[in-house]
Amino acid sequence: MEKKSTKTAYLVAVICIVVLLAILGMKYAGAPIGEDYETPFAATFWSLLPPICAIALALISKEVYSSLFFGCVIGALLYTQFRPWEALQALVGTDYGLLSVLCDSWNMGIIIFLVELGIISDLMNKGGGSEAFGRWAKEKVKSRASAQLMTMLLGVLIFIDDYFNCLTVGAVMRPVTESHNISRAKLAYVIDATAAPVCMIAPISSWAAAVSGYVNSDNVNGFQLFIKQIPWNYYCILTLIMIIVISVKNIDYGPMLQHEYNAQVKGDLFTTEHRPFEGADDYEAPSGKKTSVADLLVPVIALIIFCIIGMIFTGGFWDGETFTDSFANADAAYGLALGGTIGMIFTFLYFWCRRLISFEKSFDSVPKGFIQMVSPILILTLAWTLCSFTRYAMCSADFVSAALANAGSLKNFLPAVIFVIGAAIGFATGTSWGTIGIMAPIVVSVFDYDVEPVLCTIGLAAACSGGVMGDHCSPISDTTIMASAGAHCYHLNHVFTQLPYALTVSVVAFISFILAGLIQQVWINLIIAIVLMIATLIVIDKMERGKNGDMYKAIDEAYAAHMAGK
């Protein structure tokens, strides 16, 4: 909040929110509470007020901690009908507050996994794995486009879970993209765009398991319906198409163009003064020791294997379940924490056996790895608390269900409506799983699969697409937060630079869902959607080069000089 205009806008926004809360307090204080709810604001539009305010303040102030905390305070006030002492207790308490989310085993599993990834990343740095991989990348990855496509490919290959995807791809690809002066904001976008979108169209992933469970019933096999929705899932598919096109043609626009200009021309990968992971990417090479790419790849591959084993173990694979069913039943947080623990121990042993790190020095990675993850852990904790008040204390899902039920008469246009509603919920709540959990059962009830199997499939794809889109854009999304952490990018830089790209794909996806509801031919519709996406990007490229030709020229010249000097 450095600029005076930003401070003024923030102050005006806070005053407006306080006035609104005062009005609501006078109107609803002491109001009767329904039998099924704990507050008169439950299952109403006001249940979405806390995340809406948090997101608005974050976008205005470009400061995420205070914005999320303010949103949590608003949620506590609404929940307790504006009784300050009770609101403070609720904010900290064990029902929906900070203690509640930190006592949740799922959340703690994710936090443990984050810390383990931070420790492993620091070990690979100290052991020379990151430096060796960066050295190899300078020789083998010959262009900026190749570096971005390689990041995408790795994101596609690590499809089992989006959290794991974000952090692992970031650790591996930071030295590669840095060698080509690709901004951290661009790296964060590519990581984020190959996390949730890839997991949502991967048959074997924690996401496939979750969605299958949401829609499984006597009339519908959840896993089969998930498979059928994949070619209709336009936002996820088109996001991958977009990465390929913008990488090959070097298309940048919106705030991302400024970040890429600064990275290529000025050598500044961050653009802003924020350096949440400063010093973490000062790659080391052990003195007098020969390191190789294997010193990064072996720990990463081992970690992937152990995490897969951990997930299928929690799903009952060793109790007789099939591999697919064990994924469907997996506890992803527990499985990742379990696999991460084994992977961390393996990494310690690997570098000791290779004599690349001394016993004493290796344990310096424990506090340093934890410190690297303090920022995303704080943001995640506040985001989870905000989501807890919104979804559980004030039952925002019931409000959304009623709103969607009233749109049922639109029939063939309903998939497009479902996509928009899903995107709005995902953006406001910061959770695609939660959004799909709300929307998917409604879709199956609105469209009888036995009567309208194609529309039911398209509707599920629209719900999944919308949830991923909203989650992709939201500054309070855990996946967005971890993509920033994986890229070592200031979180709100990632949010602002990613938003125009995600909105571009959203517009094309919305049009595609309208056409899907009318045409209902899976491969014809998919081809139309891909052609529309490519055509849209070509038009944007021509417009941007006409508008910002000097910046594009400077970027190309600076990159050519950089490559010539390597």
CA gap 125, 132 in Å, rounded: 9
**199 part of a folded domain:** no
Instruction: Please check whether residue 131 is in contact with residue 291, taking contact to mean a CB–CB distance below 8 angstroms.
Output: yes
Give pLDDT, residue 68: 81
Query: Does 413 reside within a domain?
Result: no
What's the rounded Cα separation, in Å, for the pair 69 and 381?
Answer: 10
Helices assigned H by DSSP within 392-521:
396-405, 414-429, 432-446, 453-473, 478-487, 491-519
pLDDT of 175 reads 80
Nearest to 417 by CA among 502, 532, 517: 517
Q: How many domains does the chain have?
A: 1
Q: Rounded to whole angstroms, how far apart are CA atoms 388 and 95?
A: 9
Orientation angle between helical segments 491-519 and 522-547, nearest 10 degrees: 140
- Report residue 544 CA to chain centroid gap: 27
Give me the domain span that covers residue 47.
1-97
**Is residue 1 in some structural domain?**
yes
Report how far residue 198's alpha carbon sits from residue 180's, in angstroms, rounded to the nearest whole number.
25
Q: What pLDDT, on a 0 to 100 scale, did the predictor assign at position 182?
A: 92
Amino acid at 44: T
Q: Considering Cα of 475, then 101, then 347, then 122, what sign does the dihedral take?
A: positive
How is residue 18 written in tokens? 């306080």
What CA–CA distance (Å, rounded) separates 299 from 307? 12
Measured distance CA(392)–CA(96) in Å, rounded: 8
Which helix (H) or strand (E) element contains residue 27?
helix 4-28
| Amino acid 534: pLDDT | 97
**Taking Cα atoms as reference points, which of 290, 298, 296, 328 lies closest to residue 312?**
328
**CA dihedral angle for residue 267, residue 269, residue 270, residue 275, rounded to 10 degrees:** -100
- In this prediction, residue 508 carries a pLDDT of 97
Q: Please list, in sequence order, all residues whose beta carbon lies within 8 angstroms of the beta carbon of residue 361, skipping any fewer than 6 positions away.
A: 126
Mean pLDDT per 10-residue interval, the chain, length 566 residues: 69 86 79 72 83 80 79 89 88 88 85 84 80 74 89 80 73 83 93 88 66 64 79 96 94 93 91 70 60 83 86 86 75 84 93 88 87 77 82 77 61 86 82 73 74 87 92 85 87 92 96 93 95 96 91 88 74
d(CA 274, CA 261): 17
In a domain, 11, yes or no: yes
With tokens 């969607």, the residue in question is: 404
Assigned token pair, 343: 């992977």
In a domain, 263, yes or no: no
Q: Is residue 531 part of a domain?
A: no
Rg (CA), the chain: 24
Q: How many helices (H) and strands (E) does the chain have?
A: 29, 0
The total of other beta-carbon atoms located within 10 Å of residue 12's CB is 11
Cα(55)–Cα(406) distance, rounded to whole angstroms? 27
Task: Tell me which amino acid residue 192 is.
Answer: D
Tokens standing for 427? 């953006």
- Residue 252 in 3-state DSSP? coil
- The kind and range of the H/E element at 304 are helix 294-314
Q: How many whole angstroms separate alpha carbon 393 and alpha carbon 93?
A: 12
Angle at 86 between CA 81 and CA 87, to 5 degrees: 65
* Integer CA distances (angstroms), 110 to 107, 117, 367, 384, in order: 5, 10, 18, 12
Q: Is residue 50 part of a domain?
A: yes
Asked whether residue 6 is domain-assigned, the answer is yes
